[in-house]
């Protein structure tokens, strides 16, 4: 790490002002929402910005609130506040549990959910789970607001669909139905996970048939990934699905197309997808139903 190069920090009072600042500074500016990834890259001299627009001080952007059938997490809510939030723990325990194991406590105390998604680091834990949960990101620019699904906002490694003047203001996560079980597992050796795997299954009243499933694998390739084919193979009577797990894992691995890197070979990651899909499936079916 090098000393940080000189830059100016701007603290807008509103999202609108932040959007104007981003538009004004263009490529010389960048959104700052915790900096646990951004400042690291700047200290390694991999990125250079003359202006950082700090949205952590914009009032209200860190709110965590329940809506009718969803949870709305303000983009600058820190991981730590999500992990500790009674509301998240009660309504969406899988989110609190996943967040508890993001990086380390110092990162969680500073890093924010919006910053994590906006930086699009390929090993993001939240991105993988949020894609499985069907979360949507609310973006606000100078000209208005729009909403994107997770696979629409994260388009590649460190690449998002955010327009230059757009700010991610909140993540809206639909609350799972009573019949749903959600699991997030990861395998990690270094600072970032080798693999993250989220699985949401709908189980019928008997507890023996899966009526709907969504599996997402992250960290093995540039962006979290899912596969219709894999999800289809995960639906049906429990015994049948168990036999199809290998095929489902293969379909998911094909869709993810893992890369060779310091975390492991593509072959090993494909194998791990199989191991973790099975583990997630077993845990999902063994976990008790949520309280109504």
Q: How far is the CB of 144 from another protein (least distance, A)?
A: 38
Q: How far is the CB of 137 from another protein (least distance, A)?
A: 26
DSSP state of 56: G
Q: How far is the CB of 151 from another protein (least distance, A)?
A: 26
Q: Which of 68, 190, 205, 288 binds another protein (CB under 8 A)?
A: 190
* The pair of three-digit structure tokens given for residue 273, joined into one six-digit string: 């997808």
The site for another protein, by CB under 8 A, has a size of 20
Measured CA to CA, the distance from residue 154 to residue 118 in angstroms comes to: 8
Q: Per rule CB under 8 A, is residue 265 in the interface with another protein? A: yes
Measured CA to CA, the distance from residue 185 to residue 201 in angstroms comes to: 14
Q: Per rule CB under 8 A, is residue 5 in the interface with another protein? A: yes
* The pair of three-digit structure tokens given for residue 271, joined into one six-digit string: 């194998």
Region of residue 236 (phi > 0: left; psi between -120 and 50: alpha; otherwise: beta): left
Q: Which of 191, 206, 286, 288 binds another protein (CB under 8 A)?
A: 191
Measured CA to CA, the distance from residue 288 to residue 76 in angstroms comes to: 32
Angstrom distances, CA of residue 24 to CA of 27, 51, 269? 9, 10, 43
Pairing of strands 8-10, 51-54: parallel
DSSP state of 277: H
Q: Per rule CB under 8 A, is residue 105 in the interface with another protein? A: no
Task: Give, as ranges, the residues between 223 and 262 that touch another protein (CB under 8 A).
Answer: 262
Closer by beta carbon to another protein, 6 or else 59: 6
Q: How far is the CB of 268 from another protein (least distance, A)?
A: 5
Closer by beta carbon to another protein, 57 or else 104: 104
Task: Give, as ranges, the residues between 28 and 47 that touch another protein (CB under 8 A).
Answer: 40, 44
Q: Which of 51, 63, 100, 271 binds another protein (CB under 8 A)?
A: 271
Measured CA to CA, the distance from residue 1 to residue 37 in angstroms comes to: 13
Interacting stretch for another protein, rule CB under 8 A, among 68-76, 152-160, 189-197, 248-256? Answer: 189-197
* The pair of three-digit structure tokens given for residue 53, joined into one six-digit string: 């627009």
Interface with another protein (CB under 8 A): 1-6, 40, 44, 187, 189-192, 262, 264-265, 268, 271-272, 275
């Amino acid at each position: 790490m090098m000393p940080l190069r000189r830059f100016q920090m701007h603290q807008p009072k509103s999202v609108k002002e932040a959007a104007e600042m981003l538009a004004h500074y263009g490529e010389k500016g960048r959104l700052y929402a915790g900096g646990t990834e951004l400042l690291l890259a700047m200290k390694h001299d991999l990125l250079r910005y003359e202006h950082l627009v700090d949205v952590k001080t914009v009032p209200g952007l860190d709110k965590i609130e329940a809506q009718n059938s969803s949870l709305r997490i303000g983009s600058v809510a820190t991981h730590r506040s999500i992990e500790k939030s009674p509301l998240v723990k009660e309504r969406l325990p899988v989110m609190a549990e996943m967040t508890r194991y993001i990086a380390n406590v110092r990162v969680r105390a500073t890093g924010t959910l919006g910053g994590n998604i906006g930086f699009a680091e390929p090993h993001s834990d939240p991105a993988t789970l949020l894609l499985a949960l069907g979360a949507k990101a609310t973006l606000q620019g100078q000209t208005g607001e729009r909403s994107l699904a997770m696979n629409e906002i994260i388009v590649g490694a460190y690449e998002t669909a955010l327009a230059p003047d757009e700010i991610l203001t909140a993540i809206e996560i639909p609350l799972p139905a009573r019949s749903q079980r959600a699991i997030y597992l990861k395998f990690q050796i270094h600072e970032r996970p080798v693999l993250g795997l989220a699985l949401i299954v709908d189980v019928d009243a008997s507890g023996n048939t899966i009526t709907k499933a969504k599996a997402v694998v992250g960290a093995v390739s540039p962006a979290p990934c899912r596969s219709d084919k894999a999800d289809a193979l995960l639906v049906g009577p429990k015994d049948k699905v168990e036999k199809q797990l290998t095929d489902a894992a293969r379909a998911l691995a094909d869709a993810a197309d893992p890369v060779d890197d310091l975390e492991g070979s593509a072959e090993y990651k494909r194998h791990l997808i199989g191991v973790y899909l099975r583990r997630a499936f077993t845990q999902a079916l063994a976990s008790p139903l949520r309280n109504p």
